[in-house]
Amino acid sequence: MEIQEAFIQTPLGITVIKGNEGGVTAILVLNGDATAPSSHVPNSLKPAVDQLQEYFAGTRTTFQLKLNPQGTDFQKSVWRELVNIPYGKTISYLELSRRLGDVKAIRAVAAANGQNPFWIVVPCHRVIGRDGSLTGYAGGLWRKKWLLEHESPYKQQSMFA
């Protein structure tokens, strides 16, 4: 089955969604806006496009997509655990390692987290440093900060228009 692509505009830049009837294989934010949004979205990718748009609109907190990840068994185990981090919550890399059963594997867990092919849908942005710092994010720390603020139950209202 041929992999299809759709490009969508998000508040954080152009995002490419890849996949086919077998499932979504990747959702990645692109650095730079040299690519235009798709004028046609393949039917197999429409649920992912719709759900991402709902997420950015603030009406979706979980995703129901058929994912078809490509990676090692270890990476897939990390990505499966990431899905268990609730919307609006964060955990540390150490806690993620603990949940996977080996605190000594923290570097490997962090590396697998960084290789996550499903931007937002598998919420690697919810993993932070033990001291609360925003560390390591392939999409850029400014995007990680934006996503965590977007998901925060304590959204600040601006006093200025």
Nearest to 122 by CA among 33, 28, 59, 6: 28
124-142 burial, b for 16+ CB within 10 Å, e for fewer? Answer: bbbbbeeeeeeebbbbeee
Q: In terms of Cα–Cα distance, which of 77, 156, 153 is closest to 115?
A: 77
User: Active-site positions?
Assistant: 124
